[in-house]
Amino acid sequence: MQKFHTVCACLLLLTGIALAQAAKPEPKTVSQVLNGSVTNVENEFVPAADAMPEDKYSFAPTTGEFKGVRTFAQQVKHVAAVNYILAAAILEEKSPVDTGGENGPDLVTSKADIIKYLKDSFVYLHKATLSINEKNLVAPVKNPFGEGTATRLALAPGAVGHCFDHYGQMVEYLRLNGIVPPASR
């Protein structure tokens, strides 16, 4: 019986040691946390952009207070363009593509081209957020939307917030066209 208790005690001890080692995950880095936020918005935004049929990409609401609002296509291109602009600022480099200002390039017009432009903008935004670390997190960079400087810590979450602002508008556009957004299915 003594042997049985000794074996049980040893098993419990080894189990406790194994659980203690398994329970200590490595803390995430700043770039991993910020990049995770980009992934979250990308996983909502891209499927919503893809859910609208191409023949409805020119849709903009007209009933109510909607004068001068962007079409669905313009919403998607705008978000992609701003992703590029903010990522370039974080990386302190020129955008690798024509952004057409905040509206996206005029030559990107088909749904397929707009979706590609959008997906590529997220690839670039991921590159930018993964470049952020404890050393450059709050170092000043040129503010792409105004005078003075900003920090990478402000620009990266700003990109995510901007995407979600327009995602909310796109959800309305989808629903006004009888389409349930993918995230709500």
pLDDT value of position 10: 43
Q: What are the pLDDT tens digits along the chain (185 aa)?
A: 555 445 444 444 455 555 556 667 889 999 999 999 999 999 999 999 999 999 999 999 998 888 899 999 999 999 999 999 999 999 999 999 999 999 999 999 999 999 999 999 999 999 999 999 999 999 999 999 988 999 999 999 999 999 999 999 999 999 999 999 999 98
First to last CA, the chain: 59
User: Would you state the pLDDT for residue 16?
Assistant: 55
What does the alpha-carbon distance between residue 169 and residue 185 come to, in Å, rounded to a whole number? 18
pLDDT at 106: 95
pLDDT value of residue 7: 44
Question: Which residues fall within 8 angstroms of residue 2, CB to CB, at 6 or more apart?
Answer: none
**Among 43, 17, 57, CA closest to 126:** 43
| CB contact at 8 A, 88 and 81 | no
DSSP state of 69: P
Amino acid, res. 142: K
Domain 27-184 sits in CATH at 1.20.120.450
Whether 72 contacts 171, CB under 8 Å: no
Q: Quote the CA–CA distance of 141 and 148 in Å, as a whole number.
A: 9
List the chain domain ranges.
27-184
Residue 88 DSSP class: H
Assigned token pair, 169: 């508008």
70-107 burial, b if ≥16 CB within 10 A, otherwise e? bebbbbbbbbbbbbbbbbbbbbeeebebebbeeebbee
pTM confidence score: 0.86
The pLDDT score that the predictor gives to residue 18 is 56
Output the CA angle 33-37-42, nearest 5 degrees: 145
The amino acid that residue 167 corresponds to is Y
What pLDDT was estimated at residue 17? Answer: 59
